[in-house]
Amino acid sequence: MGASANIIVANLAAKGGQPITFRQFLAYGVPVTLVSALVATLWVWLRYLL
């Protein structure tokens, strides 16, 4: 959780009684990252290689 916005949200969640563990963060972050990378790869491939 390197971005300052992530740190702020993690602190607010902890203060609200719902701490976010690294495993929970990864459970949401990894799929979003993979889908975003796939979409970007497809866009670049379609835009520049066809």
Burial class from Cβ neighbours inside 10 Å (0-12, 13-18, 19+) for residue 34 reads exposed
At 32-49, the pLDDT tens digits run 999 999 999 999 999 998
Query: What is the distance between the alpha carbons of residues 21 and 14, in angstroms, rounded to a whole number?
Result: 10
Q: What is the value of pTM for the model shown?
A: 0.70
Any domain includes 27: yes
Any domain includes 4: no
Q: How many domains does the chain have?
A: 1
Tell me the average pLDDT of the chain.
92
Domain that holds residue 48: 22-50
Any domain includes 32: yes
Q: Please compute the mean of the pLDDT values over residues 1-29 and round it to a whole number.
A: 90
Query: What is the distance between the alpha carbons of residues 50 and 11, in angstroms, rounded to a whole number?
Result: 46
First to last CA, the chain: 37
Q: Please compute the mean of the pLDDT values over residues 5-31 and round it to a whole number.
A: 93
